[in-house]
A = this chain, B = another copy of it.
């Protein structure tokens, strides 16, 4: 038998996420007796989740306790694990600013402001943990996982692991090649949302030649009828084009939303590359996504209101799709598992700084999380994709950390759609004046027009 733990869930009002978590938890025998404290700022959603979770466990006769609280402190109190799945302002804040950014010439908007709200939230959770449960693990689930985990591991002493299910994209490749995914050996390192299939074998045989043959012989026919539904872009034209350019197959999010700018310049371009929705994050894809999400949440609400239903019939327990419970169990009960996680690099991928959070497979057990050594990735992948992606993250984090408007402006100047310095500065002004961004405005209040004061660090402190 395993160890009962205390788990706090921040942002537990995400009904779908929380219900999935409860479902996975009920299956995990070794975590019986555990307590889950749901925390959210939306009391109504919280109460619903709380009741659903309790019903689910009761229906299955599983010994789990659930609590709900509006207080983060309570959720953190004596916790062994914290899952942070919170999005500041849910999707609303981002939507409004995106519309505004589109008017400024940035199709589908700019992420900087939303990201920085998330950094505020993430850091504040991690800092509260330092005070209230310094030995707990933080499982970061909401985005941006890459930058956020890098920031938190640099700025606090909390142990952080970022999780994202994007890597399951490799299973779509297996389906296309008609290979049982569970029999496949694969590795897909990188940084979150930018991971690439470096190994892909079945019974010791490299599957890349079969993938190449599929692309040569079947891809065109596949694309003729390809709709590009949500989550269905692993083999989009964009993913295959990106593979041709970079030399390794992008996996999951790398195959859709978070790829190079030129797949995303406008709706027409996005539809050519990603199918009719234009990808998950086009105006069509996104409204589709939100509608589907609403439908699923509405269904959860119905189930919550109808006490005659068994929740576990509507959402039957099964193979977990998220890794959260596996990570919890491996650490809490010293059950070794090889899992795809996001943690500081510490030498796993050559040529990336130790304190950058990378994604890859790791051994997770009672001693913590150890990335498997990846070594040197191909020069092309590093130069064409990863180093640029990391540089972008570093610049945004530097802007956030320093509150230096010149650095924030430099982030905007790096956007392909930026036409001039004036355009960038206008965009920064509008971003900081936008309702909801008052804290950012304060952070970046320092005008970049003031003359810098520079002191070179003495050499002996220089490394």
A binding-site residues for B, Cβ under 8 Å: 198-199, 208, 212, 215-216, 243-248, 260-263, 265, 269, 350, 373-376, 378-380, 383-384, 387-388, 391, 394-395, 398, 402, 404, 406-407, 409-410, 413, 416, 418-421, 424, 448-454, 456-457, 459, 461-463
Let me know if A457 and B398 touch, CB within 8 A: no
Cross-chain pairs A/B with CB under 8 angstroms, 6 sampled = A208-B453, A215-B451, A243-B451, A244-B452, A379-B398, A387-B391
Chain B residue at smallest Cβ distance from A349 = B462
Contact of A383 among B216, B246, B376, B395 (CB under 8 A): B395
Contact between B246 and A420 (Cβ–Cβ < 8 Å)? no
- Of all A-B residue pairs in the complex, the 10 with the closest CB atoms, nearest first, are A375-B462, A247-B452, A245-B406, A262-B421, A376-B462, A212-B451, A375-B459, A383-B395, A384-B410, A383-B398
| Cα distance A388–B424 in the bound complex, in angstroms | 18
Instruction: State in angstroms the CA–CA spacing of A247 and B453 once bound together.
Output: 7
Asked whether, in the complex, the Cβ of A244 is within 8 Å of the Cβ of B391, the reply is no
**Complex formed: what's the CA distance from A413 to B450 in Å?**
34
Assess the A244–B375 pair: CB atoms within 8 A. no
- In the complex the two chains form, is A395's CB within 8 Å of B384's CB? yes
**Are A376 and B454 in touch, CB under 8 angstroms?**
no
A199-B456, A244-B406, A395-B384 in contact; A216/B451 too (CB < 8 A)? Answer: yes
A407 touches B420 (CB 8 A): no
B462 pairs with A246, CB closer than 8 A: no
* Shortest distance between the CB of A214 and any CB in chain B (Å): 10
A402 to B381, CA, bound (A): 13
Complex contact A457–B269 (CB within 8 A): no
Q: How far is the CB of A43 from chain B (nearest CB, A)?
A: 42
| Contacting pair B373 A383 (CB below 8 A) | no
Query: Once bound together, how far apart are the Cα atoms of A153 and B380, in whole Å?
Result: 21
In the assembled complex, the Cα of A406 lies from the Cα of B406 at a distance in Å of 33
Asked whether A248 and B410 contact (CB < 8 A) given A262-B421, A375-B463, the answer is no
Asked if B407 contacts A383 (CB within 8 A), the reply is yes
- Find the B residue at minimum CB distance from A421: B262
Q: Is the CB of A265 within 8 A of B452?
A: no
User: Separation in Å of the A2 CB from the closest CB of chain B?
Assistant: 34
Which of B244, B350, B451 contacts A448 (CB under 8 A)? Answer: B244
Residues in B neighbouring A246, C-beta threshold 8 A: 406, 452
**What residues of chain B lie closer than 8 Å to A248, measured between beta carbons?**
452, 454
Q: What chain B residues lie within 8 Å of A416 (beta carbons)?
A: 416, 418
Tell whether, in the assembled complex, residue A380 and residue B404 are in contact, meaning their CB atoms are under 8 Å apart. yes
Within 8 Å by CB of A245, from B373, B375, B388, B409, lies B409
In the complex, chain B residues whose CB is within 8 Å of the CB of A404: 380
B375 touches A383 (CB 8 A): no
A456 to B188, CA, bound (A): 12
A244 touches which one: B376, B402, B449 (CB < 8 A)? Answer: B449
CB contacts (< 8 Å) of A449 on chain B: these are 244
Centre residue among A247, A383, A409, A463 by max chain B CB count within 10 A: A383
Bound: A373/B459 CA distance, A: 8
Supposing A243-B452, A416-B418, A451-B212 touch, asked if A407 and B384 sit within 8 A by C-beta, the answer is: yes
A377: nearest chain-B partner, CB-CB = B456
Q: Could you tell me if B208 and A424 are in contact, using CB atoms closer than 8 angstroms? A: no
CB of A244 within 8 A of CB of B407, answer no
Assembly CA distance A394 to B380 (angstroms): 10
In the complex, are the beta carbons of B448 and A245 less than 8 A apart? yes
A322 to B239, CA, bound (A): 51
Cβ of A216: which chain B residues have Cβ within 8 Å of it? Answer: 451
For A407, list chain B residues within 8 Å (CB): 380, 383-384
The answer to whether A375 and B457 touch across the interface, beta carbons within 8 angstroms, is yes
Q: Are B463 and A244 in contact (CB under 8 A)?
A: no
> In the complex the two chains form, what is the Cα distance from A462 to B189 in whole Å?
15
B388 touches A454 (CB 8 A): no
Bound state CA distance, A243 and B261, in angstroms? 29
Which residues of the partner chain B approach A350 to less than 8 Å between Cβ atoms? 462-463
CA distance A421 to B384 in the complex (A): 14
| A402 CB → nearest B CB, Å | 8
Q: Is B244 in contact with A420, judged by CB distance below 8 angstroms? A: no
